[in-house]
Amino acid sequence: MRTIKLGTSTLEVPVVAVGCMRINSLDKTEAEQFVQTALDEGANFFDHADIYGGGACEEIFADAIHMNESIREQIILQSKCGIRQGMFDFSKEHILDSVDNILKRLRTDYLDILLLHRPDTLVEPEEVAEAFDILESSGKVRHFGVSNQTPMQIQLLKKFVKQPIVANQLQLSITNANMISNGFNVNMENDSAINRDGNILDYCRLNDITIQPWSPFQYGFFEGVFLGNDKFPELNQQIDEVATKYEVSNTTIAIAWLLRHPANMQPVIGTMNIDRLKDCIKASDIHLTREEWYAIYRAAGNILP
């Protein structure tokens, strides 16, 4: 699979990340087959979080991949921490404790990347900096990032944190494309002109922070997928036409649409279906034309001024 550099790091990562939030929906044999298929297809970047399945997803993954030293050298592991029941917690104590528990569940000595999972308005960035320094110097975490953060929230962290922020995980799909639409509708009196994220797309590009789109097939906030959905007839017709041209599935085109953006994004896919996993990976080889990209964008109801 095609690779990109993650942020300013030297880490080469596949352009499609395998999200493991739903791996606890598989039985042991299914989980083993899924993980092995991902590896066979070159999708060796696995995204986790300590809250997925209450930690069970990381344990299931470690069992499914038969974690050992040899396997660990072949994969890239990313996990997230900071969400607790009814709150967010970026305290030094919580970050350090979370990472120790993540490593135990994944049966590894280190994470390639740790992301802070959603913003904590009570964050004391000095504490985050102390935690990151300890994790880096101990070898427990090699790279650091965030999720769902605005430019100013990242800037606040960077005032104290010396490690580069290499990734920002953000909700983005064809139907949830406000970070793109906002850039078209500058100075316009419409809903898309509302700046909801502080120009996070441009900020990440300017600062070499890799955007990792999550829920790339969802519309709204986990309201369902847009592919094959009667609510989006024009969009599905357009996607299907492009899919027919390239002789791939609509799933492939939905991911290819994200990969076409010059920001060099790394979508995080959440499917546990092996065929859909393969379809997502095929997007690495598809380069949509400008006309195709814009036609799909407009078919989703996005308006060009």
What pLDDT shows up at residue 190? Answer: 87
Q: Could you give the CA distance from residue 210 to residue 212 in angstroms, rounded to a whole number? A: 6
What pLDDT shows up at residue 34? Answer: 98
pTM: 0.97
Residue 279 falls inside a structural domain? yes
Residue 119 falls inside a structural domain? yes
Residue 170 falls inside a structural domain? yes
Residue 246 falls inside a structural domain? no
Q: What is the end-to-end Cα distance of the chain in Å, rounded?
A: 36
Q: What is the 3-state secondary structure (H, E, C) of the chain?
A: CCEEECCCCCCEEECCEEECCCHHHCCHHHHHHHHHHHHHCCCCEEECCCCHHHHHHHHHHHHHCCCCHHHHCCCEEEEEECEECCEECCCHHHHHHHHHHHHHHHCCCCEEEEEECCCCCCCCHHHHHHHHHHHHHCCCEEEEEEECCCHHHHHHHHHHCCCCEEEEEEECCCCCCHHHHHHHCCCCCCHHHCCCCCCHHHHHHHCCCEEEEECCCECCCCCCECCCCCCCHHHHHHHHHHHHHHCCCHHHHHHHHHHCCCCCCCCEECCCCHHHHHHHHHHHHCCCCHHHHHHHHHHCCCCCC
What pLDDT shows up at residue 221? Answer: 82
* CB neighbour list of residue 160: distance below 8 Å, 6 or more residues apart: 125, 126, 128, 129
What pLDDT shows up at residue 220? Answer: 86
Domain boundaries, position 60: 3-232+264-284
| Structural domain count of the chain | 1
pLDDT tens digits, the chain, 305 residues: what are they?
999 999 999 999 999 999 999 999 999 999 999 999 999 999 999 999 999 999 999 999 999 999 999 999 999 999 999 999 999 999 999 999 999 999 999 999 999 999 999 999 999 999 999 999 999 999 999 999 999 999 999 999 999 999 999 999 999 999 999 999 999 888 888 888 888 999 999 999 999 999 999 999 999 888 899 999 999 999 999 999 999 999 999 999 999 999 999 999 999 999 999 999 999 999 999 999 999 999 999 999 998 98
Residue 46 falls inside a structural domain? yes
Residue 249 falls inside a structural domain? no
Residue 162 falls inside a structural domain? yes
Residue 53 falls inside a structural domain? yes
What pLDDT shows up at residue 193? Answer: 86
Query: CATH code at 95?
Result: 3.20.20.100
What pLDDT shows up at residue 176? Answer: 95
What pLDDT shows up at residue 187? Answer: 86
What pLDDT shows up at residue 68? Answer: 97
What pLDDT shows up at residue 223? Answer: 87
Q: Could you give the CA distance from residue 104 to residue 109 in angstroms, rounded to a whole number? A: 8
